Amino acid sequence: MQLLPTRHDRRARTHLRAAALAIAWGLLCAGASAMAAEKTVGHTVVIEGARFEPETISAKRGDTIVWINKDPYPHTVTAPGVFDSHSIIAGSSWRYVARKAGDFPYSCTLHPNMKGVLRVE
């Protein structure tokens, strides 16, 4: 019988504390993302055939807009000085949270004839 904690006991307790912290942190994060998900309003722009569909998308401040590239080659969603997705590879997407109100014309830097407008109220 031992009265003093052994080295093994101490280590076990440290592990337990680390595990408890990890669980608490996980719950905190899950809660925060659930709250964020409730508030988020999403809009989708599909990029297909080198066109933005719809060409003009209306959103409110705080909304998230997702551009999905369905073409087999990359595109960008670029409003100089406002936002820039850089290359969105085939089959990938890019999301942007509209923070500022206004009309933001954007284009694809790889295909400058591809144009769209993000309208934020």
Binding site for Cu ion (CB under 5 A): 75, 108, 110-111, 114
Q: CA 67, CA 121: separation in Å to the nearest integer?
A: 19
Name which of 63 and 67 has its Cβ closer to Cu ion.
67
Is residue 69 within 8 Å of 50, Cβ to Cβ?
A: no
Helix (H) / strand (E) element for 95: namely strand 93-97
Minimum CB separation from Cu ion for residue 42, in Å? 22
Minimum CB separation from Cu ion for residue 107, in Å? 8
Q: CA 27, CA 17: separation in Å to the nearest integer?
A: 15
Q: CA 16, CA 22: separation in Å to the nearest integer?
A: 10
Name which of 3 and 72 has its Cβ closer to Cu ion.
72
Minimum CB separation from Cu ion for residue 48, in Å? 11
